[in-house]
Chains A and B, each alone.
Chain A
Amino acid sequence: MPAISFQSVSKSYDTPRGSFQALDGVTFDIEEGEFFGLLGPNGAGKTTLISILAGLVRASAGQVVVHGHDVQKDYAQARRQLGVVPQELVFDPFFTVREALRIQSGYFGVKNNDGWIDELLSSLGLADKATANMRQLSGGMKRRVLVAQALVHRPPVIVLDEPTAGVDVELRQTLWQFIARLNKEGHTVLLTTHYLEEAEALCNRIAMLKTGRVVALERTSELLKAASSNVLRFKLDGPLPPQFEGKARVTGRIVQLPAHDAHDIERHLAVIREAGLRVEDVEIRKADLEDVFLDVMKEREVLA
């Protein structure tokens, strides 16, 4: 039985400008114990898909099943399996950190949970904040509390919706160490993130969404293999030659071009020479997930 099963999930919203299709027949399974990455540009439908999973939004068609429990018909059992860290930095200003965690435990009917709460607090670097009011915490600390709140009932499936957006390096480290540990202990993890290097480092399998459809669904290693194996990276002191339009990834002066072999590299450099441009800091590196991502978003047709 898969940990999460998305079955032909569609969602359309009525807007003043007509119907908007946020998700269109999304189908895939996440197996127990996987560390799964859900990637896609803004507006691809990642958060909508996770909201349907969490029961915050109802699908227009299709169904989502968590450990055998339909998220609509059998919502109570499905939600017990899920620990969801919302994307928005929300908090209840009336309570201290410990109160918030005790209350969250109580909603799930978990009694005498202080042992586990203490463990969560220390694992997330919150031990000295237990009696602080939520209002007094910095953004990063609030984010940690959100993670702790999602885990109070020891859910087998952990869902993180862009947990590291706008978060400092230290918290990202703490968070990923902790989540990786939970994954090793058998928890299934579903993660959406904008930081592709995080997905590359952590996720064993990845789905990419584009305008509400799955455009890639593969093991991370396969995705990386499928991409152009090398990337030529250099700084350019003039305008980009027209031959590179649409192929190059440009960040200010830095230009990155996919290159399969030495011949490709020679050809790229020849183009630049003929254009009379000068390059600096030439570097050849292995393709990473970001290259794959841009590649897939640009070219690949929608999977069936």
Chain B
Amino acid sequence: MSGWQTLLYKEVLRFWKVSFQTVAAPVLTALLYLLVFGHVLADRVKVYDSIGYTAFLVPGLVMMSVLQNAFANSSSSLVQSKIMGSLVFVLLTPLSHWSWFVAYVGSAVIRGLCVGLGVLLVTTWFTDLSFAAPLWILVFAVLGAAMLGTLGVIAGLWAEKFDQMAAFQNFVIMPLTFLSGVFYSIHSLPPFWQRVSHLNPFFYMIDGFRYGFFGISDVSPWLSLAIVGAAFAVIGLLAVHLLRIGYKIRG
């Protein structure tokens, strides 16, 4: 294995060794959401005429799990190794900032997809899902996970303590995810909040992802792809820049 492959392998091994906590636990959480919300709201919320609420909810929950776990992987790995001091083992190596980026974001994508697949598998017991355009599913899952993995890198570099990390997660990532249409279609919102939702890049990830299942979405998947792709490019360049200058990791 070359240097970046080793770092990627190490990062995957890190979460896999505690997979009960990093994969199984989020799958259970998503299942609880499905059981509770699906049960309570199934007869009250109708998003698209042809789709039941539970079926509508599943892709949203899968994507939410993908995004949250991708973010958690890179951010917690960086913060932990900064606080424990073990990041020095990577800092002393000849690995370039691109290697760091690919390895940390790559492992975040893998964790996100593992959890997402787990959620999909357990939730299929409860509803019949269609797979109208599987390629879109994969594209948005990977791109969304990469986007959140990259945000995790930035947050992990920035945070010096666990509570700063928790603040980033609770005040930025959670609201953006919850308000992106995981549990509802934004068409059910008043016009003002619809416009606000359109400013949230997470909305396009979930909307595009859902298009892959139902062939229906609030906006065109191409538009979603363009917006998510552009957002990833901007955030990605920022993360690579921070890694290059050693932001908060090299004195």
Task: Please give the residue numbers on chain A whose beta carbons come within 8 Å of chain B beta carbons, in ascending order.
Answer: 51, 54-58, 75-77, 79-80, 82, 84, 86, 88, 90-95, 99-100, 103-109, 111, 149-150
Known interface pairs A94-B14, A106-B6, A107-B7. Does A76 touch B88 (Cβ–Cβ under 8 Å)?
no
Chain B residues engaging chain A, CB cutoff 8 angstroms: 1-3, 5-7, 9-10, 13-14, 17-18, 81, 84-86, 88-96, 246, 250-251
Provide the bound-state CA to CA distance between A108 and B4, in Å.
Answer: 9
Q: Report the minimum CB–CB distance from B137 to chain A (whole Å).
A: 31
B85 touches A88 (CB 8 A): yes
In-complex Cβ contact of B250 among A55, A92, A99 (8 A): A55
Cβ-defined contact, A106 with B91, below 8 A: no
Closest chain B residue, CB of each to CB of A95: B13
Chain B residue nearest to A79 (CB atoms) is: B94
Q: Are B94 and A76 in contact (CB under 8 A)?
A: yes
Q: Contact between A77 and B251 (Cβ–Cβ < 8 Å)?
A: no
> In the bound complex, do residue A57 and residue B250 qualify as a contact, i.e. CB atoms below 8 Å apart?
yes
Are A103 and B10 in contact, with the CB atoms below 8 A? yes
A111: chain B residues within 8 A (beta carbon): 1
Interchain CA distance A99-B9 in the complex, whole Å: 11
State in angstroms the CA–CA spacing of A229 and B118 once bound together.
76
A90 touches B88 (CB 8 A): yes
Name the CB-closest residue of B to A74: B94
Which residues of chain A are near B88, meaning CB under 8 Å?
Answer: 56, 86, 88, 90
A75: chain B residues at CB < 8 Å are 94
Which chain B residues border A92 with CB–CB below 8 Å?
A: 81, 84, 86, 89
Using A90-B85, A94-B13, A94-B17 as known contacts, say yes or no to A55 and B92 having CB atoms under 8 A apart.
yes
B158 CB → nearest A CB, Å: 19
Q: How far is the CA of A150 from the CA of B89 in the complex (A)?
A: 9
Known: A56-B251, A80-B94. A91 touches B86 (CB 8 A): yes
> Given A86-B85, A107-B90, A108-B94, 17 other A-B contacts at CB below 8 A?
A56-B250, A58-B246, A75-B94, A76-B94, A77-B94, A90-B89, A92-B81, A95-B13, A99-B13, A106-B1, A106-B3, A106-B6, A106-B7, A106-B9, A106-B10, A107-B89, A108-B93
> Across the interface, which residues of B come within 8 angstroms of A58, CB to CB?
246, 250-251
Q: Please, how many angstroms separate the alpha-carbon atoms of A93 and B77 in the complex?
A: 12
A56 and B1 form a contact (CB under 8 A): no
- Name the 4 nearest CB pairs between A and B, nearest first: A106-B6, A76-B94, A90-B85, A57-B251
Contacts of B95 on A, CB cut-off 8 Å? 107
Given contacts A107-B3, A108-B3, whether A79 and B251 have CB atoms under 8 Å apart is no
**Least CB separation from B15: chain A residue:** A94
Least Cβ distance of A88 to chain B in Å?
5
Chain B: which residue is nearest A57 at the CB level? B251
